[in-house]
Structure 1
Amino acid sequence: MSAALPAAVLWDMDGTLVDTEPYWMAAETALVESFGGTWTHEQALTLVGQGLESSATILQAAGVRMAASEIIDHLTERVTQTIAEQGNPLRPGAAELLADLRAAGVRCALVTMSLRRMAEQVVAPFGHTFEVIVSGDDATRPKPYPDAYLQACQALDIAPRDAVAIEDSPTGVRAAVAAGVPTIGVPLMVSLVGAGAHALWPTLAGRTTADIAAFHSARPAHPTPPAPAEGHR
């Protein structure tokens, strides 16, 4: 392989590794309706890419009379239960790319704003593929701030510019780019146009370590981070 491999690939989880957004949306809808409110698909889309604390605040405004911590625990429990019952809803090409990266000796980390207990459940079938997990429990500030990605790089003892991030939401893209990590956007439910990703791939299906290496070799020398915007699971 002529192109240089990155030191690590940093994966977002919800919407990137696994298509769990429908699980979150179903849990949100049931919760709001249990308090007599309504929750539309359009409202649910506004939570894609939001930190859990921000999501809890929005759900409170929709009529959920629970503390933010209770909302987060309730939603996490519902989603993890659905995963346990139905299995990981992997995004196309994700498992194959992970296996190819592992075979090539490229380290992987998970950078998610979901709680650690959910993240550990999702990655359990992959054995030791994910060397580091930075979850919503760990990040000093949520995405779109760069903290979680910087913490992952520190845990791996690598420079951000030597890694590659894969994200599906504008909030996640902004976080990775703000940390100085060359970032590939793979959109799912919301557009990534203008979010700042250094490349946009419509899917991970058919992508290999060679594609990651080619992207990394052509990475910008000095990525320009956008200003953080309020708003990942």
Structure 2
Amino acid sequence: MTKRLPAAVLWDMDGTLVDTEPYWMRAEIELVSEFGRTWTHDDALKMVGMGLWDAAEVFRAAGVELPADEIVARLTERVREQLAQHGVPWQPGAQALLREIREAGIPTALVTMSIRSMAEDVVGAIPFAAFDDLVTGDEVAAPKPHPEPYLTAAGRLGVDIADCVAIEDSPTGLAAASSAGAVTIGVPHMLPLDGAPADALWESLDGRTLDDLVEVAIGKWARA
């Protein structure tokens, strides 16, 4: 009997597809330092998975005397500069799994709280047609952990979110995907995912296959 496949696979970007969190942290430290303040590694960890405009308000409260839009623009441009300088730091196994999903004919969308220009930089570096659509932080009214980004992705692809699998690295992202109704796979990176709403936790995407992903989905659907 042919296994039921997901209607779509929805990917987070920063920390899941690419290891850009150190780039963001460097950009944050540089920005806060301009205003004579200190930004620690622990401060930066609190920003992981947060919507950029929500994060901007945290920076404003920490003494960055700039409008929120300018904070978002400056952080994003600094990360894009690092991508151009150092290359795109792919997470182990991410491209291989994404390629296998695509070759199976399963629709995909990137669901990221980064803005579209940066998402397009990353997607443009993938050597195959990786995504049918991009949902970015500058296109949604409510960022993760709100379900809107994932519901938007499913709507654009014309599929039921309950038939989709979402891959995320942060508690915030998993909360968004789970509350939307997707099957969730957590791949911890900068933050532990203990207690996060994941249907499966994978230590890494390295060596993971479409069969592994389908197994998680079928298990969730059987319990529904």
Shorter-chain TM-score bucket reads over 0.9
Q: Distance in 1 between matches of 2:64 and 2:209?
A: 44
Equivalent residues in 2 for 1:152-191, closer than 5 Å: 152-191=153-192
What amino acid sits opposite 2:159 in the alignment? I
List alignment gaps of at least 5 residues for structure 2.
none
**Offset at residue 214 of structure 1 (A):** 1.2
Instruction: Give, as a single letter, the amino acid of the residue that structure 2 aligns with 1:14.
Output: D
Gaps of 5+ in 1: 224-233
- 2:50 is aligned to 50
1:12-161 equivalences in 2 (<5 Å): 12-126=12-126, 127-161=128-162
* Superposition CA RMSD, Å: 1.4
SS in 2 for 1:84: helix
Q: Which moved more, 1:95-104 or 1:111-120?
A: 95-104
Deviations 1:13-61 (A, max 9, x none): 0000001000000000001111111111111111111111121111112
Question: What is the match of residue 228 of structure 1?
Answer: none
2:7 corresponds in structure 1 to 7
Give the 4+ runs in structure 1 shifted more than 6 A: none
CA contact (8 A) 1:3 1:214 kept: no
What is the CA-CA distance between 1:140 and the residue it aligns to? 2.3
SS in 2 for 1:164: strand
Count of residues in correspondence between the two structures: 223
Q: Hey, what does 1:226 align to over in structure 2?
A: none
Deviates more, 1:1-10 or 1:211-220: 1-10
- Please report the TM-score for the alignment, with normalisation by the length of structure 2: 0.96
Seq. identity, %? 53
Partner residue, 1:209 = 210
DSSP-derived class of the 2:69 partner:
helix
**Cα deviation digits, residues 116-170 of structure 1 (max 9, x gap):** 0000111112342100100011112111100010000000000011110000000
8 A Cα contact 1:10 1:111, kept in partner: yes
After TM superposition, the score normalised by the length of structure 1 is: 0.92
Cα offset for 1:221?
A: 5.7
State the alpha-carbon separation in 2 of the partners of residues 216 and 138 from structure 1: 28
Q: Residue 218 of structure 1: SS of its match in structure 2? A: helix
Counterpart of 1:204, as a letter, is L
Cα deviations across residues 154-211 of structure 1 (Å, max 9, x unaligned)? 0000001111000000010000001000100001011111111111111000001111
Amino acid aligned to 2:103: A
1:62 deviates by: 1.6
Distance 1:16 1:138 in 2: 20
Structure 1 SS opposite 2:33:
helix
Return the letter of the residue paired with 1:12: D
